[in-house]
């Protein structure tokens, strides 16, 4: 069974530029998550989708971050414009049904904003 796929793996941009990350969850998984993990910290949930509806986006900085889940499968996370403090690893995860189930994580995208 294929795992969670993410691309790109690394991205370097200048502040005020925009960037997008892509995630393909495990086939059949209903719930998809995006996390931000700053070096030395635990992952922070940005947004949780169940199928193509948003379950929780309370910690998503909506003035600059946006996310969508197309047809309840793939998802993209966008930052526009980026700030220096957005430098982090962006993790995508999926779970079979809802947040009560274990999550499976992708390899992450390491974003550096200069």
Which residues contribute to the site for other proteins (CB under 8 A)?
Answer: 33, 35, 41-45, 48, 55-56, 58, 89, 91, 93, 98-108
Task: State the nearest-atom distance from the C-beta of 60 to other proteins, in Å.
Answer: 13
Q: Identify the burial level of 13 via C-beta atoms within 10 angstroms of its C-beta, where 0-12 means exposed, 13-18 middle and 19 or more buried.
A: middle
Structure tokens given for 2: 């294929």
Structure tokens given for 46: 């940005």
The residue among 21 and 33 lying less far from other proteins, judged by its C-beta, is: 33
The residue among 10 and 16 lying less far from other proteins, judged by its C-beta, is: 10
The residue among 14 and 25 lying less far from other proteins, judged by its C-beta, is: 25
Which parts of 51-106 are beta strand (E)? 53-56, 65-69, 75-79, 88-95, 104-105
Task: State the nearest-atom distance from the C-beta of 19 to other proteins, in Å.
Answer: 19
CA separation for the pair 111, 22 (Å, rounded)? 13
The residue among 56 and 74 lying less far from other proteins, judged by its C-beta, is: 56
Task: State the nearest-atom distance from the C-beta of 31 to other proteins, in Å.
Answer: 9
């Amino acid at each position: 069974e294929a795992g969670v796929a993410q691309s790109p793996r690394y991205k370097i941009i200048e502040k005020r530029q925009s960037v997008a990350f892509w995630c393909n969850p495990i086939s059949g998984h209903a719930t998809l998550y995006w996390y931000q993990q700053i070096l030395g910290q635990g992952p922070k949930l940005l947004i949780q989708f169940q199928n193509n509806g948003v379950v929780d986006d309370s910690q998503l900085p909506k003035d600059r971050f946006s996310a969508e889940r197309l047809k309840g499968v793939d998802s993209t996370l966008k930052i526009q414009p980026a700030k220096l403090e957005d430098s982090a690893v962006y993790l995508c995860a999926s779970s079979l049904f809802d947040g009560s189930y274990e999550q499976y994580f992708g390899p992450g995208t390491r974003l550096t904003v200069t």
